[in-house]
Each structure stands twice: as C-alpha cells, then as structure tokens.
Amino acid sequence: MITIYDIAEKAGVSAMTVSRVINNTGRISEATRKRVKKVMEELHYIPNSMARSLVLQKTKILSLLITDITNPFYTTLARGAEDAALRAGYRLLFANSDEDYAKEKGYVDMMLSTRVDGVLFAPTGDHSLENLLQLQKHNIPFVVLDREIPGIEADLVLGDSKEGARKLVEHLIELGHHRIAMINGSPDVSTARLRYTGYREAHLLSGLAVEDSLVIHRNFRDFQDESALDALIHHENPPTAIFAANNMLAIGAIQALRKRGLQVPSDLSVVCFDGFGPTDALNPFLTVASQPAYQFGALGMQLLIERIEGEATLEHRKMILPSELLIRSSTQALA
Amino acid sequence: MITIYDIAEKAGVSAMTVSRVINNTGRISEATRKRVKKVMEELHYIPNSMARSLVLQKTKILSLLITDITNPFYTTLARGAEDAALRAGYRLLFANSDEDYAKEKGYVDMMLSTRVDGVLFAPTGDHSLENLLQLQKHNIPFVVLDREIPGIEADLVLGDSKEGARKLVEHLIELGHHRIAMINGSPDVSTARLRYTGYREAHLLSGLAVEDSLVIHRNFRDFQDESALDALIHHENPPTAIFAANNMLAIGAIQALRKRGLQVPSDLSVVCFDGFGPTDALNPFLTVASQPAYQFGALGMQLLIERIEGEATLEHRKMILPSELLIRSSTQALA
DNA sequence: AAAATGTGTGTTATCGATAACTCAAAATTA
DNA sequence: TAATTTTGAGTTATCGATAACACACATTTT
C-alpha cells in the first residue's frame, strides 16, 4: 500500500509536507507542491481514511438506518438522504434493521465502533430507546425519522400519521362504509398508535362506533402473513373496507384477498398509508395517504448535518411533513 | 472516549492484557480476565475499529455497489448479500451509483480509502472497467454482479439475459405478435446487448425479420422518459407489443401508454425483464422474465467471501442464474 | 537439584496520518 | 547594515489498537 512516506521519499520531502499538500494547509512553495502532486499521481496514492480519522477524531461518514430496505418508502427516503449527504461532503453508509431490534442493536454497535459522525435513525419501535441512549452516551448526534420515541429528546422528522389516517378513513366513510377494519403495525410503534387514533377520530366525528375486533396488529413488514386477513373475513359481521397502516400490510391484505377470490374494490375497498415509489406508476390502483419520502430523507439529513456542524440551535426540532390523500381505484362506494 | 488504556489503568494491568481479553488471544488467568471484563462493562467500552483496522490491515467491512436503490431487483439482491455477509461475520456497506459513472467512481474512491475488504460490484456499464481496474490495482477483491465487463477477469454472477429475452419474445410471437418493439438499456451494458441478441434470435427462429426502427435505447433507470414510447406510437407502422429490457423501463412505458389513453394488453401487450419484489404481489399484472434477485446477492457474497478468505480456487468463476418466465395479464393474443 | 518448559504479563515498535512546535533561509523593515 | 518578519519546510508526539519479543515465576522433566 502506498503511504505518504512513500510519496515523501520519492519527492524528497518530509511526510508532513505531503500531508500539507493533500490538505491544502500550511505554506508550501508552488514548486514542491507540484512535485509532490506529480509523485502522488504516479504512485496512484489514496489516503488511508482510517489513519486520518484516528487522529482527527471524525470520519466524515454518516449512517442511515432504515427498517426495511425492500419498502419503497424507505428506499426513496434513502435517496433523499444520500443526495443531501453527498452535497455536504459526507459519505452515507446504509443499514437495514428489518424491523428487528437485535439487528438494530448490531448496527448501532457497528456505528459506535466505526465512529460515524452522525446517524439518521428510523427506529423499529419504542424499545429502540435503548439504542438511541447508547448513541447519546457516546456523543454521536442523531436525528429520528418517521417514528417518535417516548423518553428521548432528539430532532425529529415525522409524518402526520393521525391526520393522514383520519383522511383515509373519512374517505371510506363518505363512500358509505361503516364497518372498516384496520390492519395495524405493532402498538410498540408510534405511527401505529397515531394511525389508530386517526382511525378512531374519523369514526367518532362521524358518529360511528369503533369496533375493536376489527382492529388487528401485525409486524409492519410481514406482508406474507395472511392470518390478519383470515381473522377479518371470518368475522361474524365482516368489514366492507380495510385500512392498512402501511403499504406492505396493504400488499399482504390484497394478495390474501385475491387468493380467496375476493376482488378489490368490488368486494372490499382498501386504503393504506405510503405509496410504492416508482412502481406506483405501474398501476396507480391503491388509494393511499402518500408521504413525501424523499423529503423525509433530505430534511432529516439537513437537520443532522446542522447539528453535527454546530449550526443547530440548542433546542431540538420537530418537523411534521404532510401526507397527501390520493384517491384511486381501490375504493368504491358501498352498494 | 474510552480506550483500552483507560480499561488497563482501572483494572491495574497493561493495555496489552486488555487487548488479549478482547480478542481472546494469548494466555490470561481467569482472575484477570474477569476483572478486565468487568471494567470494560462498567466503562461501556467499545473498541475503536479504525485503530484496529489500521494495524490489522483489514476492516471486516464489505461493500455492495448497486446501480439503483429504488429498483426492487437490487433491493432484494441487497437483502441476499446482507444476510450472507452478516452470517460470515462481515458488515455490509451499501452504495448506490444511480447508473452514473461519476458517482460510481466516487464510491470506488471511498472504498479504497476506507480499505474495505472486498466489493460486490454491480457495474453501470462497460466503462466501469476503469473503476474495476482501480480496485484490482489496489488488491481489493471483488465479484461482478449482473453485468459482464469486457476486458476484466473476475468472479461473475449473471442472469441468462439472452435466454430470458428469447423466451419473452417467443411468448409474444406465439400470441401472434409480429411487430414487437424493444425498449432497451444503453448498448454500453452487457445485459442490454444480450437481451437484444435474445430478441433477435427469437425473431430469426420464427422466420421474422428484425426491424431496427422498433428498437430504442434508453438509460435503464430513466422510467420517467416518455420519448421512447412516443417514438414507437408515432411509428408509421406501430408495434403491437413491447419488450422492455428491465422493470423500470416497463414502468415508464406503461405509464406513458396509460397517459395516452392506451390500454395494456388490449391495445398493446407488454413484457419485461425482472419483477418488482414485494410489490409484485400487489398486482401480478406484468408478464416478466423473473430473476432470482435474492440469490444474486447471496451467491455473489459467497463467492466474494471465499475469495477473500483464500478458499477460492485460482481461476475465476462465472455463475449464470436462470430466469423464470411468468405469464400474467399484460400480454394477450393479437386480435 | 539443575535444566527445561510452561504460564501470565509487560515493553516496545508499528499501522498511516496530522497537530504543534521548531528552525534555517529569504525577504522586509528600520 | 542590523533587526525583524515571513516563508517553507522538518521533527516529534499522538490517535487506539496489536504483533513480536522479553521476562519473571511456577511447574515439570531428567
């Protein structure tokens, strides 16, 4: 491996001079600068960022932790975060927790041992608190994305889960649906709780009763699990519409419905939170509350970098991004 | 920050002894091992992986470079790669080149300076050769995914682009289509060339002539670009079917068709390479040649780790994974 | 009992880069 | 011309960890 010492020797200068050329610091005569640069190119020198980070105590690497890399919401978010990070001169390291606390913890350990400069953190749920405290204890700045964590002070970028849910359910109610099921994520996750609150509010505002046997909890990424749907179908008084708390749960529900010979929307209407990124264009079919995923990433990254570089005000900021109701063909008026 | 020296001092031993406890090397009496471990826990010690990598000359970090993080083919591939890497005790750092040579080069520089132990490399195209040579020059092992690069010897994991394309086009021909357009990726990419070859072969074997004005090239990820479709629609003798060389191009084509009031499959049949990951389940609509994306990642990672750990035979291996023709509702017999 | 081994631990040098300090020669000022 | 300042370097210590060697003491072998 080529080091600054190799360059120094060949250029007839000290290692420090080479370092100065690389970083454009200190005083260097134009002649030696040129000479050193020439040697660096000849030997294809690449600085060892670990040696550098060791002495500088910073890595210029940020980390983005998402809970499901196969969910288009998060990949679009990742693009936003990446673009913002690169623009600010940072590299971005992606990590994928799979909605799994243990994996999340593993990645947090990795971030600590890699000494990343900051973390954009989409938590798996309330229990992520410990992992966040771990980052806090080691003075690694972070911004929490998408899900609020009780018990921690941090910059936050959230969607308007309650409002979005209310709009979706109100849309169903306007179409005449009175028995609306909800397939929700784990109650350990703030968005699941808030979306339930929105669902509830829509009912109350319309004078409808909430029937808790129509509300079912599943893991946000288990779109293969058909048991939720079976429970609803075999309900003694089955629903005429389903509100899925995110896109993956909707995929699971629709897939399961189809297997059982039920059509959307003629047999049941379906709505959900989040769109499907680029593949949405393929078949704009589901009525959704679409969140600005790219902005989640871009804005979160901006907050993070501001905090790292000390431009942040002391108090923590909480940004709430609006969602947009997109009415498409997965909903229809009740016959 | 807590270092081994802090631990050493508090435990009343030398730093070396702490290092031995951490790595389970050398001889340590049970008593001091326990004492050191206790202190490490008390102080919440986390090893500094940069200092360690600096002396060990290895990082236990691998990198996966993909060309489009919003493409479900690559995110599913990423899952396969990640699982295999974690199983083998490596961490995986994701990078996203966006089908952009300059971004790709930026990430390669980052990998070199981070001194990753190896790279799973899905190249943007033939010109990626330079970036691969760069890795080679610095002795970083890599495995090339999905796209073959003329001029380099490397382990390869590929799909059967030619066969898959032939099967798709033959399916269209069997349905009575004789004027089949192809929306292809850049000719700089091996899969684009091979899929064209398969398209051509299917025509020749059926005694049909290939009409080059029906073959159009676009960037594999520019699904927003509708100009390809316009060229086909306004053709003096328009096609009755379209073969899109990947999923994103198909999305673009179908979206554009829909905007122009044309229905799939009643007005035109559409087929493409690659499925849509989990969202495929939402609406199994497109007839596709589906590639085993997860296996691409898992197998590629396995080859990479074997090569890094020296278990690899000297000669390079080339794995070709079959694709599966899934006939769905985006194709129908010509009236 | 002397010699040879084994056990547990410490010392020193090193990985590649940079900060802080030093210093000779050149340029400027008085 | 002597004193001062500026310029363009070099030296040394350091970041946090580990390899290689050294070494005292305990244990086993002859």
Domain spans in chain A, listed from the N-terminal domain onward: 4-47, 57-159+293-321, 161-291
Q: Distance (Å) from CA A26 to C1' D6? A: 13
The pLDDT value recorded for residue B36 is 97
Q: Which residue is closest to A284 within chain B, CA to CA?
A: B255
A residues 252-311 closer than 8 Å to B (CB): 252, 254-255, 276-279, 281-283, 285-286
| Residue bearing the bigger pLDDT, A7 or A311 | A7
Do the first three CATH levels of B4-47 and B161-291 match, i.e. the same topology?
Answer: no
Domain A4-47 has CATH 1.10.260.40: yes
**Chain D: bases < 7 Å from a protein Cβ:** 7-12, 14-20
Average pLDDT over residues A176-184: 97
**Is A283 a residue whose pLDDT tops 80?**
no
Mean pLDDT of A12-19: 96
Q: What integer pLDDT is reported at residue A223 of this predicted model?
A: 80
Considering only alpha carbons, which residue of chain B is nearest residue A253?
Answer: B282
In the predicted model, what is the mean pLDDT of residues B74-92?
95
Confidence of residue A93 (pLDDT cuts 50, 70, 90): confident
Residues of chain B with pLDDT > 90, as a percent, come to: 89
pLDDT score of B24: 95
Which pTM does this prediction carry?
A: 0.93
Give me the residue from B109, B113, B251 closest to A278, CB to CB: B251
Answer for B23: CB within 7 Å of strand D: yes
**How confident is the model over A252-270, as pLDDT tens digits?**
999 899 899 999 899 999 9
Q: Quote the pLDDT of residue B335.
A: 80
Q: Write out the DSSP string of B235-252.
A: SSS--SEEEESSHHHHHH
Q: What proportion of chain A, given as a percentage, has pLDDT over 70?
A: 99
Average pLDDT (A48-52) is: 95
Task: Give residue B280's pLDDT.
Answer: 81
* Residue of chain A nearest B2, judged by CA positions: A138
For residue A301, the model assigns a pLDDT of 98
The answer to whether the Cβ–Cβ distance between A282 and B254 falls below 8 Å is yes
| CATH code that applies to domain B58-159+293-321 | 3.40.50.2300
Interface of B with A in 186-215 (CB under 8 A): none
Asked whether strand D has any atom less than 7 Å from the CB of A50, the reply is no
What confidence score (pLDDT) does residue A312 get?
64
DSSP A280: G
Res A278: pLDDT: 82
Contact B165, B243 (CB under 8 A): yes
Nucleotides of C under 7 A from a protein CB: 7-12, 14-20
- Confidence band of B312 (pLDDT split at 50, 70, 90): low
- Given a contact cutoff of 8 angstroms between Cβ atoms, the answer to whether B44 and B2 are in contact is yes
- Chain A within 8 Å of B75 (Cβ-Cβ)? yes
Among A142-156, B179-193, B253-267, which stretch is predicted with the lowest mean pLDDT? B253-267
Kindly identify which residue of chain A lies nearest to residue B71, measuring between CA atoms.
A278
pLDDT at A310: 80
The pLDDT score that the predictor gives to residue A87 is: 94
Residue A251, helix vs strand vs coil: helix
pLDDT per position as a tens digit, B20-48: 999 999 999 999 999 999 999 999 999 99
Q: CATH code for A57-159+293-321?
A: 3.40.50.2300
Give A184's DSSP letter: E
* A75 CA – C17 C1', rounded, Å: 36
Mean residue pLDDT across chain A: 94
Is A257 within 8 Å of A229 (Cβ atoms)? yes
Return the closest-CA partner of residue A222 out of A256, A175, A259, A265: A256
Which long-range contacts (C-beta less than 8 Å, at least 24 apart) are formed by A197-201? Answer: A197/A162, A197/A165, A198/A161, A198/A162, A198/A163, A198/A164, A198/A165, A198/A166, A198/A167, A198/A168, A198/A169, A199/A165, A199/A166, A199/A169, A199/A243, A201/A162, A201/A166
**Residue A132 touches partner B, C-beta closer than 8 Å:** no
Q: How far is the CA of B2 from the C1' of D21 (A)?
A: 28
Q: pLDDT band for position B278 (50/70/90)?
A: confident
Diameter of chain B measured on Cα atoms: 87
Return the CATH class of domain B161-291: alpha beta
Q: Report the distance from CA of residue A47 to the C1' of nucleotide C15 in Å, as an integer.
A: 13
